Structure 1
Amino acid sequence: MKYCAFLRGVNVKGTNMKMADVCQVFKEAGMKDVVSILASGNIVFSSDKNAEELKIILEKAMSEHFSYDAFLFVKSHEDTAVFWNSIPFEKNEDFHIYGFVGMPGVENVLMEEFQKASQAENEKAEIVNNIFYWQVPKGNTLDSTFGKVLGKKSLKDQMTSRNVNTFEKILKKME
């Protein structure tokens, strides 16, 4: 079965790694057809194991090889397609749209945090199919009140986000 591993915290805040090295770690952990998408930690691969087993195997392999606490989320091809097909916002060149991959229930935590934060004009959030989506004006992602919340340590192992354009690239590689 085809999967995508979404790594958290790769190539930010001093955790730098080459995707070729990450792919090699995945291969050594028994994954097949391994390929990276962008430098932000999206690894497409094949395996006969289920997503829960793969998460444990790959976090251990990544942690040991790179000497850091690896956090990743493994989604099947079908699950990844749901992320792409559930986007609630119209594409607009003035906005970034992010989808969040994470632990079950994290979408509700994110919505609570979003509702507490002050928002820029036309900054929006919605939950569709248990997936949290966030639309933010370009240039405001890191400066927004909600963007700052996303860096909280308490959320570190709960989720990671990707621009929705990344989901499209990942799906094309999975097919």
Structure 2
Amino acid sequence: MTRYIALLRGINVGGITIKMAALADTVRTLGHTDVKTVLASGNVVFTSAETDTAALKSGLERALTDAFGYEAWVVLLGRTDLAAAVDAYPFDEREDWHSYVMFGSDPARLDELMVAAPDLDPADERIQRGDAVLYWQVRREVGIKSPFSTMAAKARFKSSTTNRNLRTLHKILDLPA
């Protein structure tokens, strides 16, 4: 049995509203156990006997699409991978800055974001490539209006990437393993 984290893109924003209890029930109907949701932003932690992560991801996306009537996109990772990504966060946390990890199910899309990112003003934001992630830190005043945020929001990245605030990731990792 493996402990997985499913990070859903676009939940409870942009008109896609899903109750976390209903989300957890949908994951349970697939035979997964110890299902927990964290916050209302599409973070599901569960245990599964499934070892084929591509099949697991596909099954989750299909079940969520069927249950909630939207095109579901999931980034799936193991708890160990999440912990490693958080532990490797390269920037010092700053009081007036947001610290994020961008996860991707397609490494080529992360590479594309890294290469295509404009020359960022380090006074406002910065990114760095990690192992299967991009680390991003942005000044709170700039936020979602930043050049990198605008680029990452483009349609071609939606099906394979999702951000999480570092505080949210710590909450996920604080759940019992």
Gaps in structure 1 of 5+ consecutive residues: none
For this pair of structures, how many residues does the alignment match? 174
Deviations 1:119-156 (A, max 9, x none): 36141111122321011001322111211112211111
1:1-150 to structure 2, matched below 5 A, reads 1-50=2-51, 51-102=53-104, 103-114=106-117, 116=118, 118-119=120-121, 121-150=123-152
TM-score, normalised with respect to structure 2:
0.92
Kindly state the Cα deviation for residue 117 of structure 1 after the two structures are TM-superposed: 5.4
Whole-Å separation in 2 of the counterparts to 1:12 and 1:46: 27
Kindly state the Cα deviation for residue 109 of structure 1 after the two structures are TM-superposed: 1.3
Equivalent residue letter for 1:85: D
Kindly state the Cα deviation for residue 6 of structure 1 after the two structures are TM-superposed: 0.2
TM-score, normalised with respect to structure 1:
0.93
What is the DSSP-based 3-state SS (H/G/I as helix, E as strand, rest coil) of the residue aligned with 1:119?
coil
Whole-Å separation in 2 of the counterparts to 1:174 and 1:122: 36
Equivalent residue letter for 1:110: L
